[in-house]
Structure 1
Amino acid sequence: MSPKQTKKTNIIEHALKLFAKKGFYNTTIPDIAKAMKMSVGNMYNYFTSKEELAKCAIKYSTNVMAEDLRSVNNMDISSKEKIFEFTRRYFTKVKKSPEIIEYFLRVYLSNREVFQQGCEGFLCVGEFVTEVMILLEEGAAKKEFRDQDFFAAFGMFMGSLGGFAFLSGEKVLEKDLLEYSDLIAENIYRALKYED
């Protein structure tokens, strides 16, 4: 990774934390520059606007999740085990880097107008969606999952994970998030599993 790309990644990581904590509209480029200990003018050498930074941040955060799922998809284990493994990794990521999930839930989904140009449909989250598609299609091909509408399966899969990430962020869970991992994975698997 070039020094410029490393700096851009560092800016994105700081922006994710601020966007997740303060919200998109309450976070300014000067806020991010201050967190980075750099000048506002220098920030514009990396991103031309807050909207451009927001789009890069959603690509970055979902690509982090895509890398995790890609490594699970490449494992020589059953589709059921992949659901359990990815759920554990997802919840571990939520605990370790909550800003990644918070950004997606609180900024990307609730400020869609910011992402209308250049992030239509799955454009900005495509790598992650592709990995979920691979997981579901391979499971169906092996007759481990039912062959069902992608959006119904995707919504159930990510709705369960995202919902629990949200509950964790709201601090309403009675137990540690990771203690729910296998229970949630089992529910996802039951909703997907193939039945004769």
Structure 2
Amino acid sequence: MGTKLVLADRIMEEAARLFARRGFYATSMRAIAQAAKVSIGAIYHYFSSKEEVYFAILRRELERRRAAVEAIRAKSPSAEEAIRHVARVHFELLKESGETIRLLSRAWLPDSPALRRKAQALYQEFAEYVAELLKEGMAARQIRPCHPLITAYALLGMVETVTARCLAGDEVAREYLERAPEELAEMAWRALRPAPQGGGACRKEHGP
């Protein structure tokens, strides 16, 4: 990895930590520079504003989730493994970097309507990616017919709700963090697996 990418990553890591602890508005570019041990000019070389730093972090974290799911699909192309890993990956990354995960929770989004709209657009991109996985699974008859985008939002919403409880940091949260990945993966797959032959008919799929 080049020096420039390493420095940009360090800036984003420190910014994520400060955003999670202090909040978006209470964190200044100067504070980020001090935490990353770089000059204020160095930050502006990579990012034009605090908003750009924030959205670079969100984009990177969502891309990490997509890459993790794609790595599983490269080993096993089954729809079951893809759906299960969509549920698991969030918690695996939560164990690595809980503070950054806070920024992905919509409860932590800045109050600005413009910033919220931009963040929602990033979330929608990831939801559409999950919807494409569902469409592929339906085409291969590996999952039951469903509305792919609604189902994607439902799956991601379930994960986000449990994540919010895991971030509390108490004993119950630690227990949930250990149990949630497999519990939610199993729940998601049970909801989406094909009905047994001769079973009840599912609702016909509608387009997104």
TM-score bracket for the superposition, by shorter chain length: 0.7 to 0.9
Alignment correspondent of 1:88: 88
The equivalent residue for 2:206 is none
| 1:30 match | 30
| AA matched with 2:146 | Q
Kept after mapping to 1: 8 A contact 2:166/2:177: yes
Give distance in 1, aligned partners of 2:38 and 2:107.
24
Could you tell me how far 1:150 is from its partner in structure 2?
2.4
- Give the corresponding residue for 2:166: 168
1:56 paired residue number = 56
Paired letter, 1:191: A
Contact 1:20 1:107 in 2 (8 A): no
Distance 1:170 1:50 in 2: 27
Segments of 5+ residues of structure 2 without an aligned counterpart are 196-200, 202-208
Alpha-carbon distance in 1 for matches of 2:119, 2:95: 29
**Alignment match, 1:158:** 156
SS of residue paired to 1:103? helix
Cross-structure match for 1:194: 194
CA positional deviation for 1:42: 2.5
Cα distance, 1:183–1:14 mapped onto 2, change above 3 Å: same
Q: How does 1:42-191 map to 2 (within 5 A)?
A: 42-105=42-105, 109-111=109-111, 113-115=113-115, 119=118, 122=121, 124-125=122-123, 128-171=126-169, 172-173=172-173, 175-191=175-191
- Superposition TM-score, scaled by structure 2 size: 0.80
Q: Which moved more, 1:126-135 or 1:155-164?
A: 126-135
Report if aligned partners of 2:28, 2:50 keep a CA contact under 8 Å in 1: yes
1:33, distance to aligned residue in structure 2 (A): 0.8
The farther-off stretch of 164-173 and 107-116 is 107-116
Q: Deviations over 1:151-184 (max 9, x none)?
A: 3111111012111211100234371512222211
SS at match of 1:163: helix
Q: State whether residues 55 and 119 of structure 2, in contact with CA within 8 Å, keep that contact through their aligned partners in structure 1.
A: no
What letter corresponds to residue 170 of structure 1 in structure 2?
A
Aligned equivalents of 1:116, 1:131: Cα separation in 2:
20
Q: Which amino acid aligns with 1:145?
A: I
**Structure of larger gyration radius:** 2
Matches of 2:65 and 2:177 in 1, distance apart?
17
Helix, strand or coil for the counterpart of 2:53? helix
Contact (CA 8 Å) 1:63, 1:127: kept in 2 or not?
Answer: no
Worse-superposed segment, 15-24 or 186-195: 186-195
Instruction: Please give the alpha-carbon distance, in whole angstroms, between the structure 2 residues aligned to 1:155 and 1:176.
Output: 21
C-alpha distance 106-33 of structure 1, shift in aligned 2 (>3 A) = farther
Q: Secondary structure at the match of 1:148?
A: coil
RMSD of aligned alpha carbons = 2.5
Partner SS for 2:46: coil
Name the TM-score, length of structure 1 as normaliser: 0.84
**Contact 2:167-2:173 within 8 A present in 1 as well:** no
Cα distance in 1 for residues equivalent to 2:74 and 2:126: 14
- Shift of residue 148, structure 1, vs aligned partner: 1.9
